[in-house]
Amino acid sequence: MYIKVGDQVIIISGKDRFFIDSNGKKRHKIGKVLKIFFKEKKVLVEGVNILTKHQRPLDNDSKGNIIKQEAPIHSSNVALIDPEKKIPTRIGFRLELNKKIRYSKKTGAILDISN
């Protein structure tokens, strides 16, 4: 998968892709990748696709809880953000000096180098 934990991504599709900013304009949501589920091809993005979970009380004395947590979304619904221009970009791979380099296809900026 071309996305790694810690990458900044923009939501390009799905029910959670927009939010209304202070000026009343629609903006795409941006978040940081927290976890990757390789078998399902899904990613967990911070602050996106929030689900409300209702928890029952365990005893008669305790109260129930409402828990809000992120749910994973499919990796095809997110795009990596270019670190220089802050725009959505596609990712390319190339070999330089026997090291695999991940780079932005729009600007050519190197994102990271792996062995």
Question: 68 CB contacts (<8 Å, ≥6 apart)?
Answer: 50, 51, 52, 53
CATH topology (fold) of 1-58+66-81: SH3 type barrels. (2.30.30)
Domain chopping of the chain, boundaries = 1-58+66-81, 84-115
> To 5 degrees, how large is the angle CA 75–CA 77–CA 80?
75
Q: What is the CA radius of gyration of the chain?
A: 18
Q: Check if the beta carbon of residue 79 is closer than 8 Å to that of residue 9.
A: yes
> Looking at the DSSP assignment, which residues form a beta bridge with residue 92?
103
Question: 4 CB contacts (<8 Å, ≥6 apart)?
Answer: 33, 36, 112
Model pTM? 0.81
Per-residue pLDDT of the chain (115 residues; tens, 9 = 90+): 789 999 999 999 888 888 888 888 888 889 999 999 999 999 999 999 999 999 988 888 788 899 999 999 999 999 999 888 889 999 999 998 888 999 999 888 888 876 5
Q: Check if the beta carbon of residue 48 is closer than 8 Å to that of residue 78.
A: no
Q: What's the pLDDT at 41?
A: 95
